[in-house]
Homo-oligomer: A and B are copies of this chain.
Protein backbone atom coordinates (compact mmCIF):
# COMPACT_ATOMS: atom_id res chain seq x y z
CA UNK A 1 0.00 0.00 0.00
CA UNK A 2 2.66 2.51 0.97
CA UNK A 3 4.31 3.64 -2.22
CA UNK A 4 7.50 5.57 -1.49
CA UNK A 5 7.29 7.39 -4.81
CA UNK A 6 3.75 8.46 -4.05
CA UNK A 7 4.72 9.67 -0.59
CA UNK A 8 7.60 11.61 -2.02
CA UNK A 9 5.43 13.27 -4.65
CA UNK A 10 2.78 14.23 -2.11
CA UNK A 11 5.39 15.68 0.23
CA UNK A 12 6.98 17.73 -2.55
CA UNK A 13 3.69 18.90 -4.04
CA UNK A 14 2.33 19.81 -0.64
CA UNK A 15 5.34 21.99 0.02
CA UNK A 16 5.01 23.63 -3.39
CA UNK A 17 1.28 24.25 -3.03
CA UNK A 18 1.75 25.76 0.38
CA UNK A 19 4.68 27.96 -0.53
CA UNK A 20 3.59 29.25 -3.91
CA UNK A 21 -0.15 28.65 -4.07
CA UNK A 22 -2.15 25.96 -5.80
CA UNK A 23 -2.81 28.00 -8.88
CA UNK A 24 0.73 28.82 -9.91
CA UNK A 25 2.16 25.35 -9.28
CA UNK A 26 1.83 23.36 -12.48
CA UNK A 27 2.13 19.64 -12.92
CA UNK A 28 5.33 20.27 -14.85
CA UNK A 29 6.76 22.02 -11.84
CA UNK A 30 5.80 19.14 -9.58
CA UNK A 31 7.51 16.84 -12.05
CA UNK A 32 10.67 18.96 -12.08
CA UNK A 33 10.84 19.30 -8.31
CA UNK A 34 9.97 15.71 -7.47
CA UNK A 35 12.08 14.31 -10.32
CA UNK A 36 9.24 12.05 -11.34
CA UNK A 37 8.12 11.81 -14.99
CA UNK A 38 4.70 13.19 -15.87
CA UNK A 39 3.74 9.74 -17.05
CA UNK A 40 4.28 8.18 -13.66
CA UNK A 41 2.68 11.21 -11.97
CA UNK A 42 -0.51 10.56 -13.89
CA UNK A 43 -0.28 6.85 -13.21
CA UNK A 44 -0.38 7.57 -9.49
CA UNK A 45 -2.77 10.56 -9.53
CA UNK A 46 -5.37 10.59 -12.33
CA UNK A 47 -5.62 14.37 -12.15
CA UNK A 48 -4.24 17.42 -10.41
CA UNK A 49 -7.32 17.60 -8.21
CA UNK A 50 -6.62 14.14 -6.84
CA UNK A 51 -3.02 15.10 -6.15
CA UNK A 52 -4.19 18.27 -4.41
CA UNK A 53 -6.66 16.35 -2.28
CA UNK A 54 -3.89 13.95 -1.25
CA UNK A 55 -1.74 16.93 -0.26
CA UNK A 56 -4.55 18.44 1.77
CA UNK A 57 -5.12 15.15 3.56
CA UNK A 58 -1.45 14.98 4.38
CA UNK A 59 -1.42 18.55 5.63
CA UNK A 60 -4.46 17.90 7.77
CA UNK A 61 -2.61 15.07 9.48
CA UNK A 62 0.67 16.92 9.94
CA UNK A 63 -1.03 20.08 11.17
CA UNK A 64 -3.08 18.26 13.77
CA UNK A 65 -0.04 16.28 14.85
CA UNK A 66 1.90 19.53 15.23
CA UNK A 67 -0.85 21.01 17.36
CA UNK A 68 -0.98 17.94 19.56
CA UNK A 69 2.75 17.98 19.96
CA UNK A 70 2.64 21.66 20.89
CA UNK A 71 0.15 21.08 23.70
CA UNK A 72 1.42 17.70 24.80
CA UNK A 73 3.41 18.90 27.79
CA UNK A 74 0.75 21.26 29.11
CA UNK A 75 -0.94 19.95 32.25
CA UNK A 76 -3.51 22.58 33.14
CA UNK A 77 -6.65 21.81 31.11
CA UNK A 78 -7.51 25.44 30.37
CA UNK A 79 -3.97 26.27 29.28
CA UNK A 80 -4.03 23.10 27.17
CA UNK A 81 -7.25 24.20 25.47
CA UNK A 82 -5.58 27.51 24.69
CA UNK A 83 -2.51 25.79 23.28
CA UNK A 84 -3.82 25.61 19.72
CA UNK A 85 -3.95 29.39 19.66
CA UNK A 86 -0.35 29.59 20.75
CA UNK A 87 0.40 27.21 17.92
CA UNK A 88 -1.33 29.59 15.54
CA UNK A 89 0.65 32.50 16.91
CA UNK A 90 3.93 30.69 16.36
CA UNK A 91 2.86 29.75 12.86
CA UNK A 92 1.75 33.24 11.84
CA UNK A 93 5.10 34.68 12.86
CA UNK A 94 7.14 32.20 10.90
CA UNK A 95 8.94 33.90 8.02
CA UNK A 96 7.46 31.62 5.37
CA UNK A 97 3.86 31.99 6.49
CA UNK A 98 1.61 32.20 3.46
CA UNK A 99 -1.82 31.63 4.91
CA UNK A 100 -4.02 28.58 5.06
CA UNK A 101 -3.68 26.26 2.08
CA UNK A 102 -7.19 25.02 2.56
CA UNK A 103 -8.61 28.50 2.04
CA UNK A 104 -6.60 28.94 -1.13
CA UNK A 105 -7.45 25.50 -2.44
CA UNK A 106 -11.13 26.00 -1.74
CA UNK A 107 -11.22 29.36 -3.44
CA UNK A 108 -9.54 28.05 -6.53
CA UNK A 109 -11.12 24.65 -6.93
CA UNK A 110 -14.51 25.83 -5.75
CA UNK A 111 -17.46 23.59 -6.43
CA UNK A 112 -15.69 22.23 -9.48
CA UNK A 113 -13.65 19.75 -7.45
CA UNK A 114 -15.80 17.89 -4.93
CA UNK A 115 -12.83 15.86 -3.79
CA UNK A 116 -11.05 19.03 -2.69
CA UNK A 117 -14.16 20.37 -0.96
CA UNK A 118 -14.42 17.12 0.95
CA UNK A 119 -10.80 17.33 2.07
CA UNK A 120 -11.30 20.87 3.33
CA UNK A 121 -14.45 19.96 5.23
CA UNK A 122 -12.80 16.96 6.80
CA UNK A 123 -9.95 19.14 8.00
CA UNK A 124 -12.22 21.77 9.53
CA UNK A 125 -14.35 19.10 11.13
CA UNK A 126 -11.31 17.39 12.63
CA UNK A 127 -10.05 20.68 14.06
CA UNK A 128 -13.38 21.35 15.67
CA UNK A 129 -13.39 17.89 17.21
CA UNK A 130 -9.89 18.41 18.52
CA UNK A 131 -10.89 21.68 20.17
CA UNK A 132 -14.07 20.18 21.58
CA UNK A 133 -12.06 17.31 23.05
CA UNK A 134 -9.81 19.80 24.81
CA UNK A 135 -12.79 21.73 26.12
CA UNK A 136 -14.26 18.53 27.51
CA UNK A 137 -11.16 17.98 29.63
CA UNK A 138 -11.67 21.30 31.39
CA UNK A 139 -14.89 20.06 32.96
CA UNK A 140 -16.85 22.92 31.46
CA UNK A 141 -20.58 22.67 30.84
CA UNK A 142 -21.80 23.03 27.26
CA UNK A 143 -18.79 21.26 25.85
CA UNK A 144 -20.09 21.23 22.30
CA UNK A 145 -21.14 24.87 22.32
CA UNK A 146 -17.82 26.14 23.67
CA UNK A 147 -15.95 23.80 21.33
CA UNK A 148 -17.81 25.26 18.38
CA UNK A 149 -17.00 28.76 19.62
CA UNK A 150 -13.31 27.97 19.87
CA UNK A 151 -13.47 26.57 16.35
CA UNK A 152 -14.94 29.85 15.14
CA UNK A 153 -12.13 31.75 16.84
CA UNK A 154 -9.53 29.40 15.42
CA UNK A 155 -10.76 29.70 11.86
CA UNK A 156 -11.32 33.41 12.26
CA UNK A 157 -7.74 33.98 13.32
CA UNK A 158 -6.58 31.95 10.36
CA UNK A 159 -8.81 33.84 7.95
CA UNK A 160 -7.61 37.22 9.19
CA UNK A 161 -3.98 36.21 9.14
CA UNK A 162 -4.37 34.76 5.66
CA UNK A 163 -6.30 37.62 4.12
CA UNK A 164 -4.86 40.66 5.88
CA UNK A 165 -1.49 39.45 7.08
CA UNK A 166 -2.30 40.68 10.59
CA UNK A 167 0.01 38.53 12.71
CA UNK A 168 -1.74 39.56 15.93
CA UNK A 169 -4.88 37.67 14.98
CA UNK A 170 -3.94 34.64 17.08
CA UNK A 171 -3.49 36.83 20.15
CA UNK A 172 -6.97 38.31 19.78
CA UNK A 173 -8.42 34.85 19.35
CA UNK A 174 -6.51 33.52 22.33
CA UNK A 175 -7.72 36.31 24.60
CA UNK A 176 -11.30 35.74 23.47
CA UNK A 177 -10.94 32.00 24.03
CA UNK A 178 -9.57 32.58 27.49
CA UNK A 179 -12.55 34.79 28.35
CA UNK A 180 -14.97 32.18 27.04
CA UNK A 181 -13.35 29.38 29.03
CA UNK A 182 -13.24 31.51 32.17
CA UNK A 183 -16.90 32.50 32.06
CA UNK A 184 -18.08 29.02 31.10
CA UNK A 185 -16.17 27.37 33.95
Interface of A with B (CB < 8 Å)? 21, 23-24, 102-108, 110-112, 120-121, 124-125, 145, 148-149, 151-160, 162-165, 168-169, 172-173, 175-176, 179-180, 182-184
Contacts and interface: CB of A to CB of B under 8 A. Distances in A.
A79 to B, nearest CB: 19
Contacts of A105: 107
A110 B156 contact: no
B164 A121 contact: yes
A24 B112 contact: yes
B103 A23 contact: no
Copies in the complex: 2
Given A23-B110, A183-B183, A173 B160 contact: no
Contacts of A176: 149, 152-153, 176, 180
A115 to B, nearest CB: 15
A182 B180 CA distance: 10
5 contacts: A104-B107, A120-B163, A151-B156, A182-B183, A183-B183
A160 B164 contact: no
| In the A-B complex, the 6 residue pairs with the closest CB atoms | A107-B107, A156-B156, A152-B156, A149-B176, A148-B172, A159-B159
Contacts of A107: 103-108
Contacts of A102: 163
Contacts of A180: 176, 179-180
Given A24-B112, A124-B164, A169 B183 contact: no
Most buried by B among A103, A107, A153, A165: A107
